[in-house]
Amino acid sequence: MRLIRGLHNLRPADRGCVATIGNFDGVHLGHRAVFQRLLARGRELGLPATVITFEPQPMEVFAPESAPARLTRLREKLGALRASDIERVMLLEFGPRLAAMPAPEFVQRLLIEGLGVRFLLVGDDFRFGRGRTGDFALLRDMGRVAEANGAGFAVEDLHTITHGAERISSTRVREALARGDLEQARHLLGRPYCLEGRVVHGDKRGRAIGFPTANIALHRRVSPVRGVYAVRVKGLGSEPWPGVANIGTRPTVDGTSARLEVHLFDFDQSIYGRHLEVELVLRLRDEQRFESFEALRAQIQRDAETARAFLMTTAEKG
């Protein structure tokens, strides 16, 4: 998969593709159905499938305090796009300059002159350009005019993808995670929900009470999950490693920023700097404040025993 970071990195060989535009946060089953449709059209036309996406996501620029929690960081999103067989990703930095670009200029510079798009797949409610004045009708009309001159594109709208009676969306995945319904999240995503990151140095408080933890930097303004979970960790060997994790601000020690702390069962190795993928298997409880470290230690002991028993049971069934 070729990653193109910005218009200035486009090569002449990048012209000519089928494309779709969006945030694609979570890369859920609805997104993947769109990609399959895009890939099929690409095969018909003999052109690569390109995903056009933004970093940061537009809401994080326009309304950072109310922007939704990200399901996937950029690295995770790119990995999921690669796994979906997407051939190219056009990554646009979303800031004041791009936000101020008039919609017709966006179409002309990026879609027509830059990528040479021949087929575009977007939602019929898609809005873009300065003041969000660009819409499906503008794309269709500019695509037709340019096509008459041999350089345009056809545009089609996305079909709604449902799970049960409801539309699959990133919002529904966030809602499922917020209430601890990991099974529902898995159905919507088409895979277990995971968090990724590098192990960094912490304050060693876990080790002091008998439960050393791998501290993983989340690099998120807001986490879509909070609480205590039974987990499986990838990146430590050929098989996932069982453990128990806390995701939150650690109110017992007056923490402020969200972090992921994983206690790995029967594990005693230095793994600082290692990139890990943490699969959330079962939500055990909410994060809570304890009156003493002894009360915290006792609860972690109970959490670890519950997580270990559950993970052993599911491993046996598997």
Tens of pLDDT, residues 96-111: 999 999 999 999 999 9
The secondary structure of 130-148 as a DSSP string is GGG-B-HHHHHHHHHHHHH
CATH number of 2-167: 3.40.50.620
**How large is the angle between the packed helices 170-178 and 182-189, nearest 10 degrees?**
160
> How does strand 88-93 pair with strand 2-5?
parallel
Give the pLDDT of residue 294. Answer: 86
Average pLDDT over residues 137-143: 93
Residue 264 φ then ψ, to 5° = -90, 130
Give the pLDDT of residue 207. Answer: 67
For residue 75, pLDDT beyond 90: yes
* Rounded-to-integer distance, Cα 236 and Cα 246, Å: 19
According to CATH, where is 2.40.30.30 located in the chain?
193-316
Confidence of residue 249 (pLDDT cuts 50, 70, 90): confident
At 223, list the tokens: 């986490």
- Of the listed ranges 157-166, 240-249, 262-271, 284-293, the least confidently predicted one is 157-166
Amino acid at position 9, single letter? N
* Rounded-to-integer distance, Cα 63 and Cα 113, Å: 31
For residue 300, pLDDT beyond 70: yes
Average pLDDT over residues 204-221: 78
For residue 221, pLDDT beyond 90: no
The percentage of the chain sitting over the pLDDT mark of 90, rounded to a whole number, equals 73
According to CATH, where is 3.40.50.620 located in the chain?
2-167
Give the pLDDT of residue 209. Answer: 66
Confidence of residue 314 (pLDDT cuts 50, 70, 90): confident
Residue 178 φ then ψ, to 5° = -65, -35
Give the pLDDT of residue 149. Answer: 77
End-to-end CA distance of the chain: 33
Average pLDDT over residues 21-37: 94
Amino acid at position 285, single letter? R
SS (H, E, C) 250-304: CHHHCCCCCEEEEEECCCCCCCCCCEEEEEEEEEEECCCCCCCHHHHHHHHHHHH
* Rounded-to-integer distance, Cα 108 and Cα 88, Å: 19
Of 302 and 314, the one with more pLDDT? 302
* Cis ω before 48 (30° cut-off from 0): no
Query: How many Cβ atoms sit within 10 Å of the Cβ of residue 246?
Result: 23
pLDDT, mean over the chain: 90
Give the pLDDT of residue 251. Answer: 52
Average pLDDT over residues 191-196: 96
- Domain over 193-316 is classified CATH 2.40.170.20: no
* Rounded-to-integer distance, Cα 10 and Cα 220, Å: 29
At 181, list the tokens: 């319904």
- Of the listed ranges 182-196, 232-246, 289-303, the least confidently predicted one is 289-303
> How does strand 275-285 pair with strand 227-234?
antiparallel
Give the pLDDT of residue 316. Answer: 60
pLDDT digits over 258-276, tens only? 789 999 999 989 999 999 9
Q: What is the pTM of this model?
A: 0.89
